[in-house]
Amino acid sequence: MFKKNSYFKIYIRRYVPKLIRLLREDIYINLMRMVGKRTNLLTMKEFPITLYGENAFFMYPFKILKTKNGSEEYFAQFYGEATTTDYTTSKRGYLNYTSEILSGKFIKKSYNLNVESSSILPISIVNNKIDGKNATVSVYSDVGKYVLRNLKENRFHYVPISGHVSVRPHNKKGCIVGKPIKTIQVRKTSKKLVLSIFIDGLAGSIFDSHSFDEIMPNTSKYFKKGSLYFNGYSSSNWPLASVATLFSGLYPINHKMYDSENEITIGENYKLISEYFSEAGYLTGQICSNFRKNPMYGYMKGFDRTIYKRNMGCSDVITNAIEHLRAFNGRSNFLWLTLFDTHHFLNGLPDISIQTSIDIDLHDYSDKKSKSVHSSYSKKKTMIYIEELKKIDFYLKILFDYINNQYGDDEVVVSICSDHGQGYIGDSSDMLAEHRIKAPLFFKSSETNKVKDGSYACGVDYLPSLLELSGIKTAGCLFDGVSLLSSNRKSSFSEVIYINDYYRTAMYDDDYIVKFVSRNKILSDKDIDYDNGEYSLYTKQGMIKMDHSTSPIANILIDQYKDILCKRRR
């Protein structure tokens, strides 16, 4: 059946004109939406297109998120794009555009506000038909009246304001007015810059066999006096679950972000990293390219500004980051950057700097296609992966140099984190094998100290550690993890939750790996029963399975592990 469907799709693509195919798909999606149904053609990964085929660029707002003070409306507009609407035929064509996402209000008549200090007001004139550039808006302030003409539509314009302000659009379609952004720091913060650099699939195991100094020399030099946890473990083996852990400090079983098929929203009953820094007085921003962390999941919550484009390359991410810091250099900033280049070839093939540096046999891409965490060992993929890390390191140096030139050592906290390892750098097919799970954590600030080789860290430790380094105090009971500044881990933990699959967990320490696999497939975390499954114990060296009946230590460790599992639920 699978082959027949594949051949049918190939036939359609080959012989049916493209315009007809695209129109057919759009008509089908729109008809299904009219009767309140979704199709299997669209998933949560395809922002700005929703599950029902709507376009977030032309939804006002596209998402409403609950906050402790009520709710926030979020709007997506084009960013850094000269032409869009006039040149896009297919719904999926909008995946190729960069979006800028802000919270604010949609207005059709005069809108009044007061700002206490010098600020920037984002304004976008909407138009879902064409890419116009003749929009007009009037801005009245204590200083005077300004009529701003020939504005590019569907883009945020950042207008300086102060005091009492009134905004009036001149068209009938209305405009979006974002929340004012203060240009000077009003509330004192411990740091001027807190930077989270997320490198997708940064596998800790690659540094067991290859030198960190050789693969990422610039990163190694920058973090030389920092805390480097090469024995860091991701809280899961895929980004939907593990990135949510980095954002919340909670295990997947507690943050509930593991359903890839249906609409789910992060942070509905718990606080996110962006909210902690926003409440502490930081201007919060993120530049992201990971489709499992796209705005439809609610990842713009707590951020003053979000730039998102699926498959954005590291060079663009770092350029946008520096541009953001230059624009808001009068503020203390928390900035999250996603570097996605190691996930797959973002442009369909390696960048030219990589193509020209590898041997001819590495230009053969005939390895079976599979997700990185599910793939089996491949020497070719491993060698290209190393080259991708070298490229990321090259561009990180540009960012590190900018930080060194603009900030003092005691003014910054810089960190590197990741979501999982890589299946193709090791032999084991086990979903919880270390080469799939190990994901290092790096921290650098004036407060960090060099850690011992082999020190453990876990994804749930990232947020409490970053907050303590940034001088933000929280209650310890908020997190499943601990701050690595004040605690020493002796083991790490990971779990794998997929809908309609077996639940798996593992705990890793210096000597043993303890594992649990559920006897039945699960539909949610409520189906997980730690009394109904198989426990096993392996030696860390050689992965030798220990027999329960002949090894007392096996039974003791498994009982201890089971007790830990049962106490993790919130």
pLDDT tens sequence across 242-272 = 999 999 999 999 999 999 888 999 999 999 9
CA distance 151 to 521: 55
List alpha helices for 142-215, DSSP H: 206-209, 212-215
CA distance 21 to 267: 38
> Would you place residue 372 in the very low, low, confident or very high pLDDT band (cuts 50, 70, 90)?
low
State percent of the chain over pLDDT 90. 68
Determine if residue 213 is left, alpha or beta; phi over 0 gives left, psi from -120 to 50 gives alpha, anything else beta.
alpha
Mean of all residue pLDDT scores within the chain: 91
Which of 373, 491, 385, 389 lies closest to 428, judged by CA? 373
pLDDT tens sequence across 109-148 = 999 999 988 999 999 999 988 888 889 999 998 888 999 9
What are residue 32's phi and psi, to 5 degrees? -65, -40
Do residues 205 and 421 lie in contact, with contact meaning Cβ atoms separated by under 8 Å?
A: yes
Do residues 198 and 418 lie in contact, with contact meaning Cβ atoms separated by under 8 Å?
A: yes
Q: What's the order of all strands across the beta sheet hosting 501-509? A: 491-496, 501-509, 512-522, 533-539
Find the mean pLDDT for residues 331-338. 98
Do residues 234 and 439 lie in contact, with contact meaning Cβ atoms separated by under 8 Å?
A: yes
Do residues 170 and 136 lie in contact, with contact meaning Cβ atoms separated by under 8 Å?
A: yes
CA distance 486 to 285: 28
pLDDT number for residue 542: 85
- pLDDT greater than 70 at residue 5: no
CA distance 350 to 347: 7
pTM reported for the whole predicted model: 0.94
Per-residue HEC secondary structure of 519-540 comes to EEEECCHHHCCCCCEEEEEEEC
If you search the block for the tokens 């009971």, which residue do you land on? 477
Do residues 73 and 104 lie in contact, with contact meaning Cβ atoms separated by under 8 Å?
A: yes
Q: What is the DSSP string of 423-449?
A: GGGSS---TT-HHHHB--EEEESTT--
3-state helix, strand, coil in the chain (%, to 5): 30, 25, 40
Do residues 63 and 264 lie in contact, with contact meaning Cβ atoms separated by under 8 Å?
A: no
pLDDT number for residue 11: 67
CB atoms < 10 A from the CB of 88, how many?
16
Find the mean pLDDT for residues 425-449. 91
pLDDT number for residue 4: 47
Structure tokens belonging to residue 486:
């004040």
Do residues 495 and 219 lie in contact, with contact meaning Cβ atoms separated by under 8 Å?
A: no
What are residue 496's phi and psi, to 5 degrees? -120, 115
Asked if omega into 169 is within 30° of 0 (cis), the reply is no
Which of 481, 531, 535 lies closest to 505, judged by CA? 535
> Would you place residue 371 in the very low, low, confident or very high pLDDT band (cuts 50, 70, 90)?
low
CA distance 49 to 540: 45
> Would you place residue 374 in the very low, low, confident or very high pLDDT band (cuts 50, 70, 90)?
low
Do residues 203 and 425 lie in contact, with contact meaning Cβ atoms separated by under 8 Å?
A: yes
**Is the four-CA dihedral 91, 97, 103, 107 of positive or negative sign?**
negative
The residues near 560 (Cβ < 8 Å, ≥ 6 apart) are none
pLDDT number for residue 8: 64
pLDDT number for residue 370: 57
Structure tokens belonging to residue 272:
């996110």
List alpha helices for 294-443, DSSP H: 314-327, 352-355, 379-406, 434-437
Residue type, 436: R
pLDDT tens sequence across 296-325 = 999 999 999 999 999 999 999 999 999 999
Do residues 136 and 173 lie in contact, with contact meaning Cβ atoms separated by under 8 Å?
A: no
pLDDT number for residue 1: 40
Find the mean pLDDT for residues 344-363. 82
Output 15 or 472, whichever has higher pLDDT.
472
Output 377 or 195, whichever has higher pLDDT.
195
Strand-pair partners of 193: 333, 412
Which of 471, 467, 407, 404 lies closest to 193, judged by CA? 407
The residues near 550 (Cβ < 8 Å, ≥ 6 apart) are none
Asked if omega into 440 is within 30° of 0 (cis), the reply is no
Output 550 or 282, whichever has higher pLDDT.
282
**DSSP, res 55:** B
Residues in the chain: 570
Q: Angle of helix 314-327 relative to helix 379-406, nearest 10 degrees? A: 10
Find the mean pLDDT for residues 419-436. 90
